[in-house]
Chain A
Amino acid sequence: MYFLRTFTVLLLFLFPINAEANEVKSWLKKEIDKIIYAYQNDGLPNENKFLMIEQTINNNFAGSGIAKFVAGKSWNGASKDTKLEYIKLFKRHLALSISSMMQGYSNQNYDLTYSSYDERNKVTLINMEVFSNTGSIQVTWRVKKSKERFFIIDLLVADISLVVTKRSEFNSMLKTVNYNLGEFNNILSAQNDSSYQKLIN
């Protein structure tokens, strides 16, 4: 009897988690396909392809939250306008980084292989296996729910977190400008221009 009760409680507990993981998986697949579709659409000029991808990324990534995290201690001392400008630039930077990476995956098959739920942090993890002719690479998406919507909060390629790498990279550059976010915005803007040119050409 005790076993049956425990089993039922476990089942009731696990079912909603599993249902949510599956819901996240199908949502993510739809969004990834949008990006891949943009790349595979040969009729679209590269500028338009990027705009489509940027829109998809901005709609689905927790861009502002990630921007704030990546800015680290420089965030506190910045004015509101500087912060807004930084968030705008960061979102474009994020879109450029992800679309540049996804460009390489656009002609390869992928499979959303496994999903799990991190109960402590309320984060769903979806593994994506990207297949090439000689092997595969694993990408993990970290997704969080907020106000009945899903947001991607991080992306891991071969155990390397995009967000943690960006934070480390930005911190190194921010150090050179005494953690002045306004000055850093100029550097980020120049980097975005250079990345954009490389991506569309």
Chain B
Amino acid sequence: MNKLKQLLLSFIIIFISFNINAGASDDVKTSSDDYETSTFDDEIYDPLEGINRAIFGFNNVADKVILEPAAKGYKKLPSPVQSGIGNFIKNLKLPLVAVNQLLQGQGKNAAESTGRFLVNSTIGIFGLIDVADDLGLEQKEEDFGQTLATWGVGDGFYVVLPLFGPSNVRDTTGMVMTMMTDPVNAYAVNQGESWAIPLRTAANAVDQRSKIIDEVNALRDNSVDYYAAVRSSYYQNRKAAIMNTDDDILTPLPLISIEFE
């Protein structure tokens, strides 16, 4: 009972801090005379920049030493094996994706995700084969961070989490909520197989990293400030995910003159 009280108290504290931090996040100013580009947030609210940079440095080393080599090794596996692992991991996320779609009022998408989960878990042999995709049940991602954003919760400040990488207060809370409510994790704990949770997290990290080896290297090798480049990329990517922009026309367009080319 005490644990439940502590948990509730933590949630209340986190939610109060949202309002404070979300407000601060909205205070970020941009210059209005910089070539009509004031719609772009040049400065993301990052009051912990010093600490964040230190953690980012640590994560970068961990990536170079552990994650990138693991991802490169994973890429050498036969394609069907890679696809099978990727599909299996994605399938395990679907129950919570469906819950978040419901919480965001996306009834049709929630039904599709549920359908995907049922089809892939049965016909698709525990999710190893993505049969649902061929049936037109498209994979869509939604998480608690996106749900909170849809409910009007602000970003809060930017944080870099050890090993987990870039995030913000809202998305970190979303991540904690995911960890606590994930039915697959709960089942593993219930069965006394808690070791499966970090294994799943690590497998997911390697699978995701293997898909962006070239892009990350291009960014890392060509950035005057890699930290700022990752921070900006994170915010753009999350913004698109929250807005569910399939259409790139909705992504802000830089006002660029080409008169003097």
Contacts and interface: CB of A to CB of B under 8 A. Distances in A.
B135 interface: no
A161 B252 contact: yes
A154 B253 contact: yes
A72 B260 contact: no
A167 interface: yes
B251 interface: yes
Contact of A144 (B83, B225, B258): B258
A198 interface: yes
B221 A168 contact: no
Interface residues of A, number: 61
B191 interface: no
B35 interface: yes
Contact of B83 (A100, A134, A154, A167): A134
B122 interface: no
B222 A93 contact: yes
Nearest to B213: A104
B258 A100 contact: no
Interface string A36-78: 0000000000000000000000000011111011001101100
Contacts of B253: 118, 121, 123, 142, 154
Contact of A171 (B228, B236, B237): B228
Contact of B254 (A97, A163, A173): A163
B225 A161 contact: no
Given A66-B256, A173-B224, A160 B82 contact: no
Interface string A142-185: 10101000010110111111011111111111000000000000
A97 B218 contact: yes
B145 interface: no
Given A116-B249, A125-B249, A169-B228, A146 B261 contact: yes
Contacts of B214: 101, 103-105
Contacts of A173: 224-225, 228
A105 B195 CA distance: 37
A159 B86 contact: no
A63 B223 CA distance: 17
B234 to A, nearest CB: 9
- Which of A144, A161, A167 gathers most chain B CB within 10 Å? A161
A54 B245 CA distance: 32
A169 B42 CA distance: 9
B35 A191 contact: no
B222 A161 contact: no
Given A104-B215, A105-B214, A163 B222 contact: no
A64 B218 contact: no
A151 B247 CA distance: 21
A133 interface: yes
Contacts of A161: 236, 251-252, 254
B254 A140 contact: no
Interface in A65-121: 65-66, 68-69, 72-73, 75-76, 93, 96-97, 100-101, 103-105, 116, 118, 121
Count chain A CB atoms within 10 A of each CB in B79, B251, B254, B256 and give the residue with the most: B256
B134 to A, nearest CB: 15
Contacts of A163: 254, 256
Complex A-B, nearest 10 residue pairs according to Cβ-Cβ distance, in ascending order:
A104-B214, A172-B228, A168-B232, A159-B240, A133-B79, A101-B218, A65-B256, A100-B218, A62-B258, A97-B222
29 contacts: A62-B256, A68-B35, A68-B256, A69-B254, A69-B255, A75-B34, A101-B214, A103-B214, A104-B213, A104-B218, A135-B211, A146-B259, A154-B253, A154-B254, A156-B248, A156-B251, A157-B215, A158-B215, A159-B241, A159-B245, A160-B233, A164-B254, A167-B254, A169-B223, A169-B232, A172-B225, A172-B227, A173-B224, A191-B223
Given A160-B232, A169-B228, 12 more contacts: A64-B260, A69-B37, A72-B37, A76-B33, A100-B218, A101-B215, A118-B253, A125-B248, A159-B248, A166-B229, A167-B42, A187-B224
Interface of A: 62-66, 68-69, 72-73, 75-76, 93, 96-97, 100-101, 103-105, 116, 118, 121, 123, 125, 127, 132-135, 137, 140, 142, 144, 146, 151, 153-154, 156-161, 163-173, 187-188, 191, 194-195, 198-199
